[in-house]
Amino acid sequence: MKILVLNGPNINMLGIREPEIYGSDSYKDLLELIAAHAQDKGVAVEFYQSNHEGSLVDEIQKAYFSGVDGIVFNPAAYTHTSVAIADAVKGVVIPTVEVHISEVSEREDFRQVSYVRAACVKTICGHGFAGYTEAIDYLIRYIGEKNEG
C-alpha cells in the first residue's frame, strides 16, 4: 500500500509559525513521526509539500498515474479557498483524509469553509501531529475493507 502525505502552504514553517497554535515541532519532525508510523504499519509513504496551488493539483494528478492508494492531505489555507484542489481530489477518486493540526471549527469564520471536505472520506481536526498518523490508520482500514468487499 502506498500513501501520499500532502501538505499545503506554510506547513514547511511548522515550529516557526504560530507555535501557540501549531506547536514547536518542525516539519521535519512531522515527517519523521509519520515515516516511523508508516514503517510500523508496513505501508510506503511519500511526502510532498508546496506553497503553490497548481503544484498541489499536479501532485494529486501524479498520484493517480503512479498508483497511490490513499492520500493524507492538509491543504492548509487552500482548504478554505481552492475549488481547483477540491476538483482534483474528486477527480482522481483516491481515498483522501483531510487533516488539520488545529481545531479549525473553533477558529475564525473564514476557516469554517472547506471546499475539499466533500471530496474526502474523513476529516481529522485538532489532534496536532497525531492527526496524520490517525489518518494513515484510517486509510489502512478503509482501503483494506474496500479491497475485501
Q: Which residues are known to be catalytic?
A: 22, 100
Binding mask 60-79 for ligand DQA (x = CB under 6 A): --------------x-xx-x
How many residues bind ligand DQA (CB under 6 A)? The answer is 10
49, 86, 94, 100: residue in contact with ligand DQA (rule CB under 6 A): 100
- CA quadruple 80, 110, 99, 149: dihedral sign: negative
Question: Using the rule CB under 6 A, which residue among 1, 10, 87, 134 binds ligand DQA?
Answer: 10
Determine the straight-line distance between the first and last CA of the chain, rounded to whole angstroms.
17
| Binder among 29, 102, 117, 122 for ligand DQA (CB under 6 A) | 102
85-110: burial string, b at 16+ Cβ within 10 Å, e else: bbebbeebebbbbbbbbbebeeeeee
For residue 90, the SS3 value is: helix
Interaction site with ligand DQA (CB under 6 A): 10, 74, 76-77, 79, 100-102, 104, 111
